[in-house]
Amino acid sequence: MNFSISATNANANRHVNASTNTNVTVLAVGTSRGMGHDGKGFTIVELIVVIGVIVLLMGLLSPVLSKVRESAAATKCRSNLKNLGTGWAIYADASPDVMPAAVSLPAVIGSAPPDELTIMHVLREQIRERAVYECPSDDRSYFAQRGTSYEYLPGLAIALNPINAVELATVARENPEIVPILADAAQFHDAPQDIVSPNLTVYYDTHVDWLFDAIPSGS
């Protein structure tokens, strides 16, 4: 019998304590006006100020962060193009007389039926890792849909005029620094304002730069 009474009292005490604690919590959050920071936690006003500062900082930081992200993506894209250019150079050394008539990919709609030769087929021995064909800033899913984010520009020139396959190879051998081989299929990156075509590009001589003239004039 005594045990039973004690237990009941204990339960009652616990209930009172819980109720008191609830009230303390409500007081700490609810009476913000005039309440200083006395070590019992944040008041609503303090919380709002802290949240406001965080939101403000995020607003200030987000353009900076997106610039940093884009800069890293452009660096990765340049690295991809350099690798592709190196593979291209090995291929071109062995076949210097004619520019491969692979289709232009992927921005030119309808340019790559499944049975047509693509630059990925042409360079399959030199470039075995498909990931290098993906520009990290490819926001048009070209890589996912067509297997590459990069346009094979000689393919475009050759499609416009088949004779160009040989002429283009001659121009490329004589002026390798002006003949673009693979370029971003769209203007994926931020570029300096004076850049006309902000597509990163690897040229015949394997240097990587922005695209100025997609197709050399007169060829």
- Please give the residue ranges that form the binding site for Zn ion (CB under 5 A): 77, 135, 184, 188, 200
* CB nearer Zn ion, residue 25 or residue 75: 75
Beta-ladder partners of 3: none
Least distance (Å) from Zn ion to the CB of residue 28?
53
* CB nearer Zn ion, residue 158 or residue 186: 186
* CB nearer Zn ion, residue 91 or residue 142: 142
Least distance (Å) from Zn ion to the CB of residue 146?
15
Residues 6+ apart with CB under 8 A from 187: 197, 198, 199
Distances (CA, A) of 127 to 60, 121, 177: 42, 9, 21
Q: Rounded CA gap, 149 and 136, in Å?
A: 9
Q: Rounded CA gap, 132 and 112, in Å?
A: 19
* CB nearer Zn ion, residue 77 or residue 158: 77
Least distance (Å) from Zn ion to the CB of residue 72?
12
* CB nearer Zn ion, residue 28 or residue 214: 214
Alpha helices in 142-198 (DSSP H): 142-146, 153-160, 164-174
Beta-ladder partners of 197: 211
Least distance (Å) from Zn ion to the CB of residue 211?
11
Least distance (Å) from Zn ion to the CB of residue 160?
24
CB 151 within 8 A of CB 186: no
